Amino acid sequence: MTLINENYLHLEESYLFSEINQKIEEYRKENPKANIISMGIGDVTRPLPKAVIEAFHNAVDEMAHKETFKGYGPEQGYPFLREAIIENDYKPRGVKLTLQEVFISDGAKCDTANIQEIFSKDNKVAITDPVYPVYVESNVMAGRGGPQDKKGQYNGIIYLPCTAENNFQPPLPEEKADLIYLCYPNNPTGTSLTKDQLKEWVDYARDNNSIILFDGAYEAYIQEKNIPHSIYEIEGALEVAIEFRSFSKTAGFTGTRCAYTIVPEELEAEDSQGRKHPLNRLWNRRQTTKFNGVSYPVQVAAAATYTKEGQKEIKKSIKYYMENARIIRENLKDTGLEYYGGVNAPYIWIKTPNMSSWQFFDKLLEEAQVVGTPGTGFGPSGEGYFRLTAFNTRKNTKEAMERIKKIEF
Ligand code: MLT
């Protein structure tokens, strides 16, 4: 009989957010009248900016005429979007990139999951814990994780615990890490790293010939001045880091799908003979074989986020969500619960009082009909924590906080 990839058997039964959805559905069946407010998955609620919609419509119309119709586009993305990214997201921060270094995709989730394919299975992977589950699970699927131990850690992965005790600052790995996943502003803790703190990681990677996989999906939420928007703001990072960014949380593209990945040309890794190879070529090879690009209208829509009007509307949405974050934090003050994050990120990380993450999940669902995400779903160090997102509407956010304040913890 055909054999399966047994690495999949090491994984939990379902993906975190699928498990939460199942639980909500069960609750809904038993309580059909319940008015559930979701502050679980980090999904945006505000519509696409008008400037984006207009560009999107026009591009769809182009597809209707033989003169302007587009078939396959470049697998790496259309130059107009890649140029707009370089000009708007990097140049103003003093980062020089070439067109070849920018790869458009349909999501940072896919890119952060797929990137491990271009690296040897023998690499040691370090991840901050708790973390967005995709990094760990894609490596487990590829065979770098092995089975889970009693603590819920996969044997082959180096865990870097980030808890209130170390102020959510990941410790440098004790054993040598070849690949290091960093996500800042952080999902799920909502905390951030200053330039000096991030520099320690770039220095570590340079000293140890490691590669940093830097997920900057929440970059647009940064409010404070000393927080870097790109890892490439740190000197030397172009030699050691791949950066992932997304239009999802920045411009409301969670359902539209558009993101990009930067693979600098000077970034290299070795083969087993010690010969160096540019990772840019490998990623390009992978993408041209396995990916046919993002649809033309979506890329036009993404480019419209950089227009003056687009920028204005995006900033308005970010401000709206960050005001939700402020409201959540303000209201949590009255509950006596300890909480973190929500200043440079749309996530608020609550310490669960004398109960597990899942017990806290059940309590909030049953007593307030509010859904959040149990910290343990993001890794063993997330046990004892719980995540709320600021992505719901103002009305629902306020209502949810009023309900939570009535609970006795
Ligand atoms: C989350 O809730 O952690 C994110 O929305 C998930 C994602 O971006 O895929």
Residue closest by Cα to atom 3 of ligand 1 = 42
The answer to the question of whether 387 is labelled as a binding residue is yes
CATH of the domain at 96: 3.40.640.10
Domain end residue (candidates: 308, 335, 355): 308
Domain identity same for 171 and 218: yes
Residue 234: inside a domain: yes
Do residues 23 and 279 touch, judged by C-beta distance below 8 A? no
CA of 116 to the centre of ligand 1 (A): 19
Domain end residue (candidates: 265, 282, 308): 308
Q: Look at residue 11 and give its three-state secondary structure.
A: coil
Domain identity same for 195 and 231: yes
CATH of the domain at 395: 3.90.1150.10
Query: ipTM of this model?
Result: 0.92
Domain identity same for 144 and 268: yes
CA of 137 to the centre of ligand 1 (A): 14
Residue 250: inside a domain: yes
Domain identity same for 136 and 226: yes
Do residues 268 and 279 touch, judged by C-beta distance below 8 A? yes
Domain identity same for 58 and 183: yes
| Token pair listed for 248 | 């999802």
Which residues does a 6 A CB cutoff place in the pocket of ligand 1?
Answer: 41-43, 109, 132, 187
The answer to whether the predicted template modeling score (pTM) of the entire model surpasses 0.90 is yes
CA of 311 to the centre of ligand 1 (A): 23
Domain span at residue 61 reads 53-308
The answer to the question of whether 275 is labelled as a binding residue is no
The answer to the question of whether 109 is labelled as a binding residue is yes
Q: What's phi and psi for 348, nearest 5 deg?
A: -120, 130
Do residues 288 and 188 touch, judged by C-beta distance below 8 A? no
Do residues 133 and 145 touch, judged by C-beta distance below 8 A? no
Do residues 89 and 230 touch, judged by C-beta distance below 8 A? yes
Residues belonging to the chain: 409
Residue with tokens 């343990």: 376
Domain identity same for 270 and 396: no
Domain identity same for 255 and 195: yes
Q: How do beta strands 385-389 and 373-374 pair?
A: antiparallel
Residue 82: inside a domain: yes
Burial class (CB in 10 A: 0-12, 13-18, 19+), 18: exposed
Domain tally, the chain: 2
Q: What's phi and psi for 61, nearest 5 deg?
A: -60, -35
Per-residue pLDDT tens digits of the chain, which is 409 residues long: 999 999 999 998 888 888 899 999 999 999 999 999 999 999 999 999 999 999 999 999 999 999 999 999 999 999 999 999 999 999 999 999 999 999 999 999 999 999 999 999 999 999 999 999 999 999 999 999 999 999 999 999 999 999 999 999 999 999 999 999 999 999 999 999 999 999 999 999 999 999 999 999 999 999 999 999 999 999 999 999 999 999 999 999 999 999 999 999 999 999 999 999 999 999 999 999 999 999 999 999 999 999 999 999 999 999 999 999 999 999 999 999 999 999 999 999 999 999 999 999 999 999 999 999 999 999 999 999 999 999 999 999 999 999 999 999 8
Domain identity same for 101 and 245: yes
